[in-house]
Amino acid sequence: MEVAIETRQLTVAYGAQPALWNVDVRIPLLKMTGIVGPNGAGKSTLLKAILGTVPRLSGEVVLHRDAGRNGTAVGYVPQRNAVDWDFPITVFDLVTMGTYGRLRWFQRPGKREREEAREALAQVRMEEFADRQIGELSGGQQQRVFLARALVQQASIYLMDEPFASVDAKTENMLIDVLHRLRDEGNTIVLVHHDLTTVADYFDHVVLLNRKLVASGATATTFTPENVEHAYGVAGQHLVQRHP
């Protein structure tokens, strides 16, 4: 198994409260990995530690040597509630932001960047909304646009924080299709996910987290009742059951 992201003895704390505790995890290359665990398990913190936006107390994060060869190494889709939806920015502008990380100082997005933004919008089937202000979109459409912004980064690893939160089933299916296609085209996808009923369908690989690493490995062998119980407590079993 080739490894896209490896954390070694990674610890992050907020005050005296450990958020991630001595986590050794290996996320495989060219696979779709789900990070699951109860609230406060450190799932978002793990993404931020990989991005390097929270201070580590111990350990290190190693990215695959090929990551970042074409663009930024890691594309990031934050939780949707973090932004101001009344901000005067169009869908197209927002997607173009994905190129800012590689622009030099003084440089403005040019023809090439705009072309890439348009392609990314086409991939998530949002071309016709390019000139809309972002507040005028539905929740699912907003999530698609954020995905497009990550695509424009031309990363080879994509980190997404609960992209399916408050998104309708149709959009969720559409997003999953795009993500699977992305994976098949040679990218690594990492999602923080909270709906245990869909874990088995969506992910090749799963990381169960509860501040410490509970289990990590191929979904079929790792996403077992014992491990879920270990991460969530006894109640975890009910979460896996699909509601009719």
Return the number of the residue (93 or 172) whose C-beta is nearest other proteins.
Answer: 93
For β-strands 74-77 and 157-161, DSSP reports them as parallel
Give the nearest distance from C-beta 243 to other proteins in angstroms.
Answer: 29
Give the nearest distance from C-beta 39 to other proteins in angstroms.
Answer: 17
For residue 149, the one-letter residue type is: R
Partnered with residue 191 across adjacent β-strands are 34, 160
Give the nearest distance from C-beta 228 to other proteins in angstroms.
Answer: 19
Return the number of the residue (22 or 198) whose C-beta is nearest other proteins.
Answer: 22
| Contacts to other proteins by CB under 8 A | 8-9, 11, 13, 15-16, 18, 21-22, 51, 53, 55-60, 72, 74, 76, 78, 82-84, 86-90, 93-94, 97-98, 100-101, 103, 105-106, 108-109, 133, 153, 211-212
Looking only at Cα atoms, what is the longest distance across the chain? 56
Give the nearest distance from C-beta 107 to other proteins in angstroms.
Answer: 8
Return the number of the residue (91 or 199) whose C-beta is nearest other proteins.
Answer: 91
Return the number of the residue (18 or 217) whose C-beta is nearest other proteins.
Answer: 18
Q: Going by C-beta distance under 8 Å and a sequence separation of 6 or more, which residues neighbour residue 226?
A: none
**How far apart are the C-alpha atoms of 168 and 139, rounded to whole Å?**
8
- Distances in whole angstroms, Cα of residue 183 to Cα of each of 48, 58, 153: 21, 31, 15
Lookup result for tokens 């991460």: 231
